[in-house]
Amino acid sequence: MSAPPEPAPPELAQRVLREQVAAVHANAPAAYLADLLTAQALGIGLFVATRRWQVLLWMALHLALTLRRAYRRYQRSPDAADHPEYWARFNARNVLLRSCVWGLAPWLCIPAGQHSVLWAMLIVMMMGWCAGGALSLAVLKRNIPRFIVPSMASLTAALAWRGDSTHLFLAVGCLLYMGVIITFALQHHRLLTASLTMRFEKEALAEQLSRQIAATQRASEEKTRFLAAASHDLRQPLHAIALFGAVLEKELQGREEERHAARLMDAVGALGQSLDTLLDISRLDAGVVAPQIQPVALNPLFLALNHVFAAQAADRDLQLRLRATPCWVLSDPQLLQRLLSNLVDNALKYTPRGGVVVAARARGQQVWIDVRDTGIGITGEHLGRIFEEFYQVGNPGRDRAQGLGIGLSIVQRLTRLLAHPLQVRSLPGRGSRFRLVLTAVSAPGAIAPAAPPDNTLPLPRRVLVIDDETAIRQAVSDLLQAHGVAVEAVAGEAEAEAVLAQSAAQAAQGASPVEALLCDVRLADGADGLAAAQRLRARFGLPVLLITGETAPRRLQQVHDSGLRVLFKPVAGDALLQALAALPR
């Protein structure tokens, strides 16, 4: 036996009732018309056969009742959606009256004596009327007894009243019929109510889900904004430290204190790397990373990974094997290397004993790259969450040496960007396997090696720096001057314009002009450094190098769209010099 259904909560029950009333209302015109035609046809048939005035009385009663209902429906019009209970009662009263009028038919329309044909006519018509009406009215439970019982009980009683065995037999038949119809109508009602309740429950769930999705999206946007603000504020001083450090390193060259400067620069580098990881996430979210999909040979990529990670593996007494492979795949070589680096880095980090194997296998049109380790593995409960940002297993103290919990979220974004599905399997205590699925390509003909970066380009002789922070202006000036570059450093666009106008005038008299503009993207009081740089570039025709600590996706997108060369803070001294030298002049 199935358990009785749980009662619906009041709000849900009200919605269900509203829907049921609406269904009854929608059916009402057709139902009343059918009822009227059936009654009048029956009345005409019986009148022709009996010529009794009582038949006409019954027909008139039925007609009056139908007209009364139509009139009251027309007269009272509180909105059915707002007053479902009122309309359910209205409907139940009408149903009851109708059934009572039908219940009068056997008493008024059939004369005393044996009239089998008339009885047969009446019984067939009333049973058909009852079956059709019961199903259409069963939407509302209270209608079922009101509709069936008065008419059918009256028919049964009228038959039994005749007293002879034939009529008694027919009376029992009518009684049984009434029972069966009531049972069917109740079942039908339960089914309709259950499906309505289910529909509303599903709608409520969908609504709740969409609210939750919106809340998650808002939280994610807030997180991005927070990260962008925090990252920007940290990058500013770090950028100055990196540049001062570079000056210090140059000044201390060949002296004993040089090693202190080197250590300082290592620490700055590590901090910069952490910030870069956050920046990577922002850039991937901003959609400014455009993959350059091309045929990529995996073997050189594996060799490069080996080169990067061999020392780390050896330090920790782990075996690192990157199996030689002839496979080529369709991917972006740099992004693929970044993706695999994160996987290998994790594999080494979470493997206390044994080792890590990276192997590629051709599988039809695909190539699988497996990064397998014999490490601590990941339990099922964590496996679904390791790709979330800042999610770490077993680092409650958030020890930075154990990572930021962001490596795999970068991996996930990269796999989506490159359309390389990633599968993970892991057994706690036995190790993990991360499998990347790529599209195979056949090896193209010999490819010309890429030209090595040119480190021998000369620096511009005179540079204009726009940055609202005094410390940074000072640090950049010191660094550039230490490399023989003349520097003018200003805080905003107006001063920059004045310097450039003066420089143009001096150049006309043979002095060396400003050859490059180094501009911060965010200036004092919210001034837009990007727009300022674009205006100055358009007016004075200067090459521009932007420097930014911005990580907000929208801003990054604007910087990217400007097409200008950009460096992200903190910028190492060497990188700044190289980028300046590489500016088109």
378 binds ligand ADP (CB under 6 A): yes
CB 284 within 8 A of CB 270: no
373 binds ligand ADP (CB under 6 A): yes
In the complex, what is the shortest distance from the CB of residue 212 to ligand ADP, in angstroms, rounded to a whole number? 24
Distance CA 564, CA 542 (A): 11
DSSP 8-state class, residue 403:
-
43 binds ligand ADP (CB under 6 A): no
154 binds ligand ADP (CB under 6 A): no
DSSP 8-state class, residue 400:
G
In the complex, what is the shortest distance from the CB of residue 531 to ligand ADP, in angstroms, rounded to a whole number? 37
Strand partners, 424: 434
| 90, 129, 177, 350: which one binds ligand ADP (CB under 6 A) | 350
Closer residue to ligand ADP (CB): 377 or 549: 377
354 binds ligand ADP (CB under 6 A): no
In the complex, what is the shortest distance from the CB of residue 282 to ligand ADP, in angstroms, rounded to a whole number? 16
Closer residue to ligand ADP (CB): 123 or 393: 393
Using the rule CB under 6 A, give the single segment among 4-12, 172-180, 396-404, 483-491 that binds ligand ADP.
396-404
Stretch 327-346: interaction string toward ligand ADP, x if CB under 6 A:
-------------------x
DSSP 8-state class, residue 525:
G
374 binds ligand ADP (CB under 6 A): no
In the complex, what is the shortest distance from the CB of residue 297 to ligand ADP, in angstroms, rounded to a whole number? 25
406 binds ligand ADP (CB under 6 A): yes
551 binds ligand ADP (CB under 6 A): no
Helix H, strand E, coil C: the string for 58-125 is HHHHHHHHHHHHHHHHHHCCCCCCCCHHHHHHHHHHHHHHHHHHHHHHHHHHCCCCCCHHHHHHHHHH
Alpha-carbon dihedral sign for residues 272, 277, 283, 289: positive
| 59, 247, 376, 536: which one binds ligand ADP (CB under 6 A) | 376
Closer residue to ligand ADP (CB): 236 or 426: 426
Nearest to 65 by CA among 117, 7, 105, 18: 105
Phi, psi of 126, deg, nearest 5: -70, -40
DSSP 8-state class, residue 384:
T
| 375, 460, 549, 553: which one binds ligand ADP (CB under 6 A) | 375
Task: Return the residue nearest ligand ADP (CB atom).
Answer: 403
171 binds ligand ADP (CB under 6 A): no
102 binds ligand ADP (CB under 6 A): no
Total residues belonging to the chain: 585
487 binds ligand ADP (CB under 6 A): no
Distance CA 546, CA 349 (A): 36
CB 126 within 8 A of CB 152: yes
408 binds ligand ADP (CB under 6 A): yes
Distance CA 427, CA 379 (A): 7
Using the rule CB under 6 A, give the single segment among 291-299, 404-412, 505-513, 565-573 that binds ligand ADP.
404-412
Long-range contacts of 54-61 (CB under 8 A, 24+ apart): 54/108, 54/109, 55/108, 55/109, 57/108, 58/101, 58/104, 58/105, 58/108, 58/109, 61/101, 61/104
CA 174 to chain centre: 60
Residue whose pair of structure tokens reads 């069917």 in the numeric block: 184
| 43, 403, 570, 573: which one binds ligand ADP (CB under 6 A) | 403
In the complex, what is the shortest distance from the CB of residue 277 to ligand ADP, in angstroms, rounded to a whole number? 9
In the complex, what is the shortest distance from the CB of residue 407 to ligand ADP, in angstroms, rounded to a whole number? 3
| 393, 437, 440, 575: which one binds ligand ADP (CB under 6 A) | 393
355 binds ligand ADP (CB under 6 A): no
Closer residue to ligand ADP (CB): 270 or 498: 270
Q: How many residues bind ligand ADP (CB under 6 A)?
A: 23
Inter-CA distances, 99 with 145, 148, 152, 292, Å: 10, 7, 8, 79
Stretch 420-439: interaction string toward ligand ADP, x if CB under 6 A:
------------x-------
Alpha-carbon dihedral sign for residues 528, 532, 534, 535: positive
CB 499 within 8 A of CB 514: yes
407 binds ligand ADP (CB under 6 A): yes
Using the rule CB under 6 A, give the single segment among 215-223, 389-397, 489-497, 498-506 that binds ligand ADP.
389-397
In the complex, what is the shortest distance from the CB of residue 357 to ligand ADP, in angstroms, rounded to a whole number? 12
Q: Give the pair of three-digit tokens for residue 558.
A: 């604007």
Label residue 189 exposed, middle or buried (CB < 10 Å: 0-12, 13-18, 19+). buried
Residues that bind ligand ADP (CB under 6 A): 346-347, 349-350, 373, 375-378, 386, 391-393, 395, 402-409, 432
